[in-house]
Structures are given as C-alpha cells and as structure tokens.
Amino acid sequence: MFLLILSYVSLFAFIFLSIYKAVQYGKMPMHGRLDLYPIPKEKGKGHYGGSYYEEVEWWKKPRETSLLEEIIDMLKEMLFIKKLFDNQRPLWWISYSLHLGIYLLFAWTALLFIGAITELAGLAMESGHWWAVLVYYTTFLTGTIGGLLVAFGSGALFLKRYLVPSFKKYTTVQEYFNLVFIFAVAATGLMVWTSDPGFNYGRHIAKSMLTFRPIEADAILSIHIILLGLLLIYIPLTKMSHYVGKYFSFHKVLWDNDPNLPGSEIDKKIKQAAGFKPKNNWSAPHYQPEPPKTQDM
C-alpha cells in the first residue's frame, strides 16, 4: 500500500508544486520592459527581429501579432532546444538526449494508463486486437528509447560536468546529485525492464492506481518506484523546474513588448500599481527626500 500512496502523493506533489511555483512567479509585480529581439509574435517581422517600432506613428496602427509564429518558435525551443542546437551543438547532443528521453517517458506514462484502462475494459495486451497491439508496441518503444536516452543523457551530462574544467568549476554538489538522481531512476527502471521488456509491470502499477489496489513489486521495482516518487517531489523544488521558469522568461519577459497605450491592460495595471507605497527605501543620498528649502536671509 505504501508504494501506491507514494505514487499518488508524488504525482500530485509534482503537479501541485509546479503549479504553485508558476503561481508564485505569476503573482510577482509587473516589471519594466526588457524586450529582446527577435520576438517571434511580431507579425511579418519576427523572422529578422523587427518590431512595431519600425513603423511611423506605430501607436496609431493596429497591433499585429501572430500567435502561430509564437507557438512555432515556442515548440522549436520546447521540443528541440533550438537555441542550444544553434549555439552549442556538442552539449546539445547530450542535453537533448536527456530531454527527449523525458518527453518519451511522459508519453510512455500516458500509454501505460491507456494500456491499463484497455485491460480493465477487458481487452488483454496479448489479445492480438489491433488496438492492444498498437498500445503495447508504442509503450514498448517510448519506454525503451526514453529510458535509454534519459540514462545516457544524465550520465553523459554528469561526466561532462565532472571532466570538463570549465563546467566543473561552476557545478555544485547538488547539481551532480540531481544528475545522479535522474540516472539512478533511469537505471533502476532499465533493470526492471530487462526482466519485463513489455512493461507489464508499468501497466500493473497504473491499474493499481486506477483501482486503488496495492502495487505488487519485488525489491528492484520497489526501489525504482520509491526513487521515481521522490524525484517527482524533488524536481519542482529545484532549478530542474525550469519548465516553469522558461515560460515566464520568454513569454513574460523577453517577448513581452506590449506598449503602454491609453486604455490598454498595461495602462490599467500601472494605474493600479500607482497607489503602492513601499515601507522601505534605498539608502543612497539621492533616494532621500530633499530637505525643505529655507529662504535666504
């Protein structure tokens, strides 16, 4: 029963803590503008880095933005880590292995639940039905490739950080630990997989979670579930939660070039913020109120 509860707790903790973190960032006061071009949403101009400031009397013209261009650019970054690919190819190979592996394991997790529901509905994976075959093999492929990529990516990143002096001098013990932690989860998962290549154990866990029945696990599977559960709780507490930060740093900082025009949302926010009076102030002389002027005698 412990493993079942841990599975629930870790999954909800991952979701809740990630959302909590996003809410914390979202609640921060509106900041000054830090536009950095190219901004992909600038319709017809994003590809070369242009903006509405290229127009005469831009404030009189309708603001033309392209959500599609923004989404395309966002997907390039999310799915392929394009900036790393463009600017630092040797690191991209291993970083992308890790990230692609994680994406595949997310798909694998979803497929495990789909497989579990399929079996609970009475269609066994061994039935030979096309749906069962499809679910079985996509689960097999995503799980196998994903696990191998995560193990390779985390292991290679650890070695790169440890062996390359320019990386080593900036890496903290915690950052090594993070990579070892991910590697340990992937390695134990692969150890379980060697004795059950079809991931039947995974569907069993999913079924247990869907039906509130205890998870049956041997020693290595128990260790894997415990490590994975702890990792899911740990990730949002660390900078590995950069999937949250990345949204804000691009969408809410570098790509936030909405101008402060009369009646705009920005203008409303500034008007609301105008009433804020800080209790504390900076100490330099030019931050202090000017003394009242006395009349010369």
Dihedral sign for Cα atoms in the order 72, 77, 79, 80? positive
Q: Is the peptide bond before 262 cis (omega within 30 degrees of 0)?
A: no
- DSSP letter at 297 equals -
Residue 88: CB minimum distance to another protein, A: 5
Dihedral sign for Cα atoms in the order 106, 107, 113, 116? negative
What is the H or E stretch that residue 198 is in? none
Which CB, 8 or 59, lies closer to another protein?
59
Which CB, 217 or 244, lies closer to another protein?
244
> In angstroms, rounded to a whole number, what is the distance separating the alpha carbons of residues 63 and 154?
44
Give the distance, in angstroms, between the CA of residue 147 and the centroid of all CA atoms in the same chain: 18
Residue 126: CB minimum distance to another protein, A: 43
Give the distance, in angstroms, between the CA of residue 10 and the centroid of all CA atoms in the same chain: 17
| CB-CB contact of 49 with 38 (8 Å) | yes
Tokens of 148: 């191998």
> In angstroms, rounded to a whole number, what is the distance separating the alpha carbons of residues 105 and 228?
12
Which CB, 72 or 253, lies closer to another protein?
253
Give the distance, in angstroms, between the CA of residue 179 and the centroid of all CA atoms in the same chain: 16
What is the H or E stretch that residue 244 is in? helix 242-247
Tokens of 270: 């500034």
Residue 189: CB minimum distance to another protein, A: 24
Collapsing DSSP to helix, strand or coil, 63 comes out as: coil
Residue 16: CB minimum distance to another protein, A: 19
Which CB, 183 or 250, lies closer to another protein?
250
Residue 99: CB minimum distance to another protein, A: 10
